[in-house]
Amino acid sequence: MSRALFAAVLLLPTIAVAQTTTLRAYPVPGEGALELAVPLRWLEQVAPTQPGEDARITLRPDSGSAFAFSIAVKRPDGTSDFNSRERLRALVEDSAKAALALAPGTDLRVEQVDGLRSVGFVYSVTDASVPDPAPDGFYRVMTQGAFAAGDLLLVATILTQKSWGSDLDAALDVLRSARQSDRAPDAWRLPSEQPRPFARRGALYRLDLPADWVVESENPLVAMSPIGARLEVDVDDRACEPASELRELQLAQERRSQDEIIVRRSGKTRVAGPVGREYAFVDTLRDAYVHQVVACHAEHVVTVTWSARARMARLVEDELEPVLDRLELAAIR
């Protein structure tokens, strides 16, 4: 898939279906709390953060995968125009031009979205190569925006299967409701404790993702890139040998796809230092491109998988190779 397949869409105001919302207060260290009015049935995850890192809030429906919604919360950095209207618009325009592969000087309109205590700008693009209706786990529309709420800067990404409808309207209403407050954050909305302490980012491994990626799950890590590619990082607590692990991956894929596999790459590679194995292939049965990397580290198996539609293979590699380069494996004590 090429970025040229995206079509720009302005998000003109629509009449949203009324939903019952709850006012949720999320902690922002040193800056009080971020309050959002979120539909009652939506589920959430607050990513654990290290000192100095941006908080990340992920929202999703209580069932199914109709949308994925991520908000990165950035704290003031000391610059005078940190979250000014001019900078917000520039951030969104730059992101839109990158997604649409437009020249830097291209004049691009974005939509201003105002709330009672917030202001922001958004744009939306549609991937015409994804069928309508979109298959489960795929999204035709990506909406991105930057919002100011008090002293905070919010960078939002919304993935939906349609360019209109209640899911997108409700997500935009959440951003309109954003406000910074000094109230105590809800205790149950502190960064989530993970059931496998050595399997999450910051423990066994560290992987910093750009703010415009949507994190669907932290443990195991599942994230969607701006172009719709899927990244998964999983950790198993057992000893391993890379060549054997690679062969198991190959056999599993061959069984799953009934031998409809075209191998693109298979062999040794380095994974954050240790020598691992990689396996890249096209699954013609499912029209998918998959690249898996496996490493053995301190009695743990780290498996990285990225996948997308087959026609996106080159674009996916260009986007995700730098992400793998940022993977750092930590020492286990």
Domain ranges, residue 146: 3-189
Answer yes or no: is pLDDT of 171 > 90. Answer: yes
Lowest-confidence segment of 19-28, 233-242, 254-263 by average pLDDT? 254-263
Determine, yes or no, domain membership for 147: yes
The mean pLDDT of 221-242, rounded to a whole number, is 79
| Same structural domain, 154 and 124 | yes
Determine, yes or no, domain membership for 214: yes
% pLDDT > 90, the chain: 18
Find how far residue 289's CA is from the centre of its chain: 19
Q: Which among 224, 214, 233 has a CA at the least distance from the CA of 59?
A: 214
Answer yes or no: is pLDDT of 132 > 70. Answer: yes
For residues 104 and 40, the model is more confident at: 40
| Same structural domain, 120 and 12 | yes
Predicted structure pTM score? 0.60
| Same structural domain, 317 and 219 | yes
| Same structural domain, 287 and 321 | yes
Determine, yes or no, domain membership for 194: no
Distance CA 221, CA 235 (A): 9
For residue 38, give the H/E element and its range: strand 33-39
| Same structural domain, 180 and 54 | yes
Q: Given pLDDT bands bounded at 50, 70 and 90, which one contains residue 165? A: confident
| Same structural domain, 175 and 307 | no
CATH number of the domain that residue 41 is part of: 2.60.120.1690
| Same structural domain, 178 and 265 | no
| Same structural domain, 184 and 210 | no
Answer yes or no: is pLDDT of 9 > 70. Answer: no
For residues 306 and 9, the model is more confident at: 306
Digit-coded pLDDT (tens) for 89-126 = 988 888 777 766 666 666 666 899 999 889 999 988 88
| Same structural domain, 220 and 244 | yes
Digit-coded pLDDT (tens) for 43-97 = 888 875 555 667 788 898 887 778 889 898 999 988 989 999 999 998 888 877 7
Q: From 189, 219, 239, give the residue that closes a domain.
A: 189
